[in-house]
Amino acid sequence: MADDLPAQLRPFTADEWPAIVRALEDVFGHTPSSRYLEAPPPVAELDRSLGLVEDGRIVATSGMYSLRMTVPGAVVPTAGVTWVTVSPTHRRRGILTAIMRRQLDELHEQEREPVAALWAAEASIYGRFGYGPASWRGGWSGQVQRLRLRDDVDTGSGRVRLVPEDEFRGPAAAVHEAVRRFVPGTTARDDRWWTRALLDDPERRHGFTARRFALHSGADGAVTGYATYRTKADWSDTGEPMGTLAVEDVRATTPAAYAALWQFLLAHDLVRTVEARNASPDDPLRHLLHDPRALHARPVDALWVRLVDVGRALAARRYPAPIDLVLEVRDPFCPWNDGRWRLSGHPAGAYCGRTDRDPDLVLGIEALSSAYLGGVSLAALQGAGRVTEISPGAVTLASTAFGWPVAPAASEDF
């Protein structure tokens, strides 16, 4: 490709949307629904897209969403990177690198979001651009007959009821808004994102029912939690029910409401297996069960994070333990981050700026980005040779300060 490849990339127009979808389909192997082909979805920001057109054909795509993501103790504007594809006919030509280069350069030069995030279709791709896995999905499943709540679990005096989608959305949005600020990795949802979250294409149900909606209300009638799920019927050769209940989302503002929602979900007839692929790896459910071993988890990476501007990103979050250290950051892809940064933070605020002081820690941007949401330990990264301790005790101090009581859990797959 030509040396000016980044300059050849350009935003797409709405008229090109059907061709964009075909390019996505060629790479990801999804068959889009007719509704998706008609026009860009409401969440699309075509002015933030970048693509390459050659001989009238789209051969590369990418996009960004303007998100607001919860980080430890704060909410930070985040560029949600999406739609990243390169046609099989154009691999190994530097196109993906050019896309990443242009995205990060523009974010920095325009002083936009200090953090970028994405879901990696392949885990080996994005580390070289400074992205690191920062949150995990629990991916658990279990046999329903063993998933019984402990006798001492308090489910309160409220009730759970099934409701239609139009009755569900408003109360659920209020619960989500109340809860999301405490869970790093969770993004805000406006009306467009709620429409996207509740989209239920029959072509993508894979044998499961349409989505079911449950609300939990306290004794005073106020909604304190919600759950969404699906079921799929199956039967053994001898006529035994072998159904599956797939839990999509469970959120609540009180422990009792959370327990009551799970009690409801685990009480479905004709179900043998319950699965929750997107649950947090430290889901409280394990501690509600009479038999904790009944829950089998297979954690996999979820949200990948990239600090676009180290100073702004580290100053934006909060630190549960005081920290005052110098980090020497290695960032060959974004040289404006390269060098030494003094980080001074505590539960109420933080400062991060350039310094000439000697470093206490040396680490790459990928490791720092992984630790940003508080779910990946800097001590574990040191054990892997990804963090070098210069000042004795600095890793212990930094690991404590970068941690967070709630594990990050990404709420939006984009």
Tokens (6 digits) for 121 = 């279709």
Q: Is residue 367 part of a domain?
A: yes
Say whether both 272 and 145 belong to one domain.
yes
Give residue-wise pLDDT tens across range 286-317: 999 999 999 999 999 999 999 999 999 999 99
Residue 2 has pLDDT above 60, yes or no: no
Question: Residue 195 — left, alpha, or beta (φ > 0 → left; ψ -120 to 50 → alpha)?
Answer: alpha
CA distance 161 to 221: 12
Specify the number of domains making up the chain: 3
Say whether both 108 and 148 belong to one domain.
no
Tell me which of 4-13, 204-213, 253-262, 280-289 is least confident: 4-13
Q: Is residue 16 part of a domain?
A: yes
pLDDT of residue 34: 65
Range of the structural domain that residue 49 is part of: 5-113
Give residue-wise pLDDT tens across range 170-213: 999 999 999 999 999 999 999 999 999 999 988 889 999 999 99
Nearest alpha-carbon partner for 294 in 275, 314, 319: 275
Q: What is the 3-state secondary structure (H, E, C) of the chain?
A: CCCCHHHHCECCCHHHHHHHHHHHHHHHCCCCCHHHHHCCCCCCCHHHCEEEEECCEEEEEEEEEEEEEEECCEEEEEEEEEEEEECHHHCCCCHHHHHHHHHHHHHHHCCCCCEEEEECCCCCCHHHHCCEECCEECCEEEECCCCCECCCCCCCCCEEEECCHHHHHHHHHHHHHHHHCCCCCCECCCHHHHHHHCCCCHHHCCCCCCCEEEEEECCCCCEEEEEEEEEECCECCCCCECEEEEEEEEEECCHHHHHHHHHHHCCCCCEEEEEECCCCCCCCHHHHECCHHHCECCCEECEEEEECCHHHHHHHCCCCCCEEEEEEEECCCCHHHCEEEEEEEECCEEEEEECCCCCCEEEEHHHHHHHCCCCCCHHHHHHCCCEEECCCCHHHHHHHHHCCCCCCCCCCCC
pLDDT > 70 in the chain, percent: 98
pLDDT > 90 in the chain, percent: 89
Say whether both 321 and 187 belong to one domain.
no
The CATH number assigned to the domain holding 72 equals: 3.40.630.30
Provide the pLDDT confidence category of residue 411 given band limits of 50, 70 and 90.
Answer: confident
Say whether both 153 and 245 belong to one domain.
yes
Say whether both 336 and 286 belong to one domain.
no
Say whether both 264 and 157 belong to one domain.
yes
The CATH number assigned to the domain holding 334 equals: 3.30.1050.10
Give residue-wise pLDDT tens across range 369-409: 999 999 999 999 999 999 999 999 999 999 999 999 999 99
CA distance 185 to 205: 26
Chain-centroid distance of CA 224 in Å reads 23
CA distance 252 to 247: 14
Give residue-wise pLDDT tens across range 9-57: 999 999 999 999 999 998 988 777 666 777 899 999 999 999 999 988 9
Residue 139 has pLDDT above 90, yes or no: no
Where a domain ends, among 242, 277, 300?
300
Chain-centroid distance of CA 314 in Å reads 19
What is the end-to-end Cα distance of the chain in Å, rounded?
29
Say whether both 290 and 358 belong to one domain.
no
Say whether both 317 and 271 belong to one domain.
no
CA 132, 136, 138 angle in degrees (round to 5)? 165
Say whether both 296 and 385 belong to one domain.
no
Task: Answer with the residue of higher pLDDT: 299 or 223.
Answer: 223
Mean pLDDT in the chain? Answer: 95
Say whether both 190 and 272 belong to one domain.
yes
Q: Is residue 123 part of a domain?
A: no
Cβ(398)–Cβ(389) under 8 Å? Answer: no
Give residue-wise pLDDT tens across range 66-80: 999 999 999 999 999
Say whether both 202 and 282 belong to one domain.
yes
Provide the pLDDT confidence category of residue 281 given band limits of 50, 70 and 90.
Answer: confident
With tokens 């505590």, the residue in question is 346
Nearest alpha-carbon partner for 244 in 268, 262, 228: 268
pLDDT of residue 288: 97
Where a domain ends, among 238, 267, 300?
300
CA distance 168 to 214: 7
Round the CA-based radius of gyration of the chain to a whole number and report it. Answer: 23
Residue 1 has pLDDT above 90, yes or no: no
Q: Is residue 132 part of a domain?
A: no
pTM summary value:
0.94
Where a domain ends, among 279, 300, 321?
300
Residue 223 has pLDDT above 60, yes or no: yes
Average pLDDT over residues 152-177: 97
Say whether both 350 and 314 belong to one domain.
yes
With tokens 């402990």, the residue in question is 150
Provide the pLDDT confidence category of residue 7 given band limits of 50, 70 and 90.
Answer: confident
Q: Is residue 253 part of a domain?
A: yes
Q: Is residue 267 part of a domain?
A: yes
Give residue-wise pLDDT tens across range 335-352: 999 999 999 999 999 999
CA distance 241 to 270: 5
Q: Is residue 24 part of a domain?
A: yes
Q: Is residue 126 part of a domain?
A: no
φ, ψ for residue 334 (rounded to 5)? -125, 85
Cβ(248)–Cβ(411) under 8 Å? Answer: no
